[in-house]
Amino acid sequence: MIVLGRITAPYGVKGWVRLHPFGDEPERWRDIRHWWLGRDDQDFSGWKSWPLQMMRQQGNGWVVKLTGIEGRDAAEQLVGQFVGAPRNALPATEQDEFYWADLVGLTVVNEQQETLGRVTELIESGAHAVAVVQEGEGKEATQRLLPFVSQVVMEVDVPAGVMRVAWNKDW
């Protein structure tokens, strides 16, 4: 299961909800016939499938209508739930395009061949995504926030499990 976003609020009174996408180009998700929703983004056992009825851009955001969700009360029950889909239902990625789930766990190495840690998550900052990179464990762990932009991320090699970056270890 690949987590794609999160339901943030009801929209209107007919069962529509606002979607906060994790990543670029959520319009491509219209082709995913069934969306999965759940409260835990790590344990997918309680997730439920919902057929996608409609999705459209509304202002700067996205609104979604799922089949079977009728009225504002039903939409309010979905607030806070994560949205995802099985990997085989997702559109194929283009060259230099990745699902966030593919990036989590990658080892981050800089131009000096120093290991900066592993990507633990990505967050959307508004302007661009930010990779959270953690080196070490517990109280001794160092956390770095690296902008996921071409000036910083030089190469992503998912099969090798490595992301190469232009970022010094002491920054």
Provide CATH 2.40.30.60 ranges for the chain.
2-89
Q: Which helix (H) or strand (E) holds 27?
A: none
pLDDT of residue 117: 97
Per-residue pLDDT tens digits for 76-116: 999 999 999 998 888 888 888 888 888 999 999 999 999 99
What's the topology of domain 100-165? SH3 type barrels. (2.30.30)
Tell me what percent of the residues of the chain surpass a pLDDT of 90. Answer: 69
pLDDT single digits (tens) 1-36: 889 999 999 999 999 999 999 877 888 888 899 999
**Please, where in the chain does CATH 2.30.30.240 lie?**
100-165
Residue 167 pLDDT grade (very low, low, confident, very high; cuts 50, 70, 90)? very high
Extract the runs of DSSP E, i.e. beta strands, from 28-141.
Answer: 34-38, 48-58, 61-66, 82-85, 107-110, 115-124, 129-135
Euclidean distance between CA atoms 101 and 108, whole angstroms: 15
Superfamily of domain 2-89: RimM (2.40.30.60)
Q: What percent of the chain is predicted at pLDDT more than 70?
A: 100
pTM of the prediction?
0.72
- What are the C-alpha distances in Å from 165 to residues 74, 117, 168? 44, 12, 9
- In this predicted structure, what is the pLDDT of residue 94? 82
Q: What is the pLDDT of residue 42?
A: 83
